[in-house]
């Protein structure tokens, strides 16, 4: 049985949503991001202490985009994870990775600063630069969506799941007012998907920020 360590709001959303879309059975082991260092079982599977972790038999993985590629290859074929002979494959791969490497990853220091930094250090050059890089790359998403309903073309794929997580992360940081019209409409449309709603129902959102 596939086991996912995580819960809302973390990148485990990507994996839970994909598993629901693919109709694969899985178990969710909730890990509270704020208390993870005290969760000995979780720290044993990822000593660096970040989420999500995916376990599948002897397989143990700690990068969400790699997990998406693993699940598609191991349990596909699936239209969610197009194959190399599919004409949409290059666009799929590009936006699949852009969602983490060029969007969500830039927001990690913004989250840490917003929730953990002393008030006087919240608005600093590094955070402004990270937000600038996020919006610079987000412009590519806006342009792509002006040409079609999803990032790899007509069909919804896991590239949309990847990027959507970054959009939610930005929204939690109060950045969504600055999203373009195509991105705003797309974010709302994707959230209405039944598989997204099923995944969310299994893992009610927890607050970000330090445990009280």
> Which residues bind to ligand GSH, rule: CB under 6 A?
10-11, 33, 49-51, 63-65, 100, 108
What DSSP element (H or E) covers 27?
Answer: strand 26-30
Burial bucket for residue 31 (CB in 10 Å: 0-12, 13-18, 19+): buried
Phi, psi (rounded to 5 degrees) for 211: -65, 145
- Residue 200 near residue 8, CB atoms below 8 Å: yes
Q: Closest CB to ligand GSH among 155 and 200?
A: 200
Q: Closest CB to ligand GSH among 51 and 71?
A: 51
We find the least distance from the C-beta atom of residue 103 to ligand GSH, in angstroms, to be: 11
The CA distance from 12 to 6, in Å, is 5
We find the least distance from the C-beta atom of residue 24 to ligand GSH, in angstroms, to be: 19
We find the least distance from the C-beta atom of residue 45 to ligand GSH, in angstroms, to be: 13
CB closest to ligand GSH, residue no: 50
The CA distance from 77 to 22, in Å, is 10
Q: Closest CB to ligand GSH among 50 and 89?
A: 50
We find the least distance from the C-beta atom of residue 11 to ligand GSH, in angstroms, to be: 4
The CA distance from 212 to 206, in Å, is 13
Phi, psi (rounded to 5 degrees) for 63: -125, 125
Q: Closest CB to ligand GSH among 110 and 183?
A: 110
Q: Closest CB to ligand GSH among 156 and 165?
A: 165
We find the least distance from the C-beta atom of residue 125 to ligand GSH, in angstroms, to be: 22
């Amino acid at each position: 049985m596939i086991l996912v360590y995580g819960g809302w709001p973390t990148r485990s959303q990507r994996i839970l949503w994909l598993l629901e879309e693919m109709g694969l059975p899985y178990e969710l082991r909730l890990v509270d991001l704020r208390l993870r260092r005290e969760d000995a079982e979780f720290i044993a599977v990822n000593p660096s202490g970040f989420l999500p972790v995916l376990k599948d038999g002897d397989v143990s993985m700690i990068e969400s985009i790699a997990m998406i590629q693993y699940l598609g290859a191991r349990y596909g074929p699936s239209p969610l994870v197009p194959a190399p002979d599919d004409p949409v494959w290059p666009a799929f791969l590009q936006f699949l990775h852009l969602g983490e490497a060029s969007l969500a990853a830039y927001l990690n220091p913004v989250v840490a600063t917003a929730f953990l930094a002393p008030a006087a250090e919240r608005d600093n050059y590094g955070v402004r630069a990270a937000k600038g890089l996020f919006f610079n790359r987000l412009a590519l998403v806006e342009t792509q969506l002006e040409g079609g309903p999803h990032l790899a073309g007509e069909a919804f794929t896991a590239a949309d799941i990847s990027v959507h997580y970054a959009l939610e992360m930005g929204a939690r940081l109060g950045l969504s007012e600055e999203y373009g019209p195509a991105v705003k409409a797309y974010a709302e449309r994707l959230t209405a998907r039944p598989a997204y709603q099923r995944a969310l129902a299994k893992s009610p959102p927890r607050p970000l920020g330090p445990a009280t």
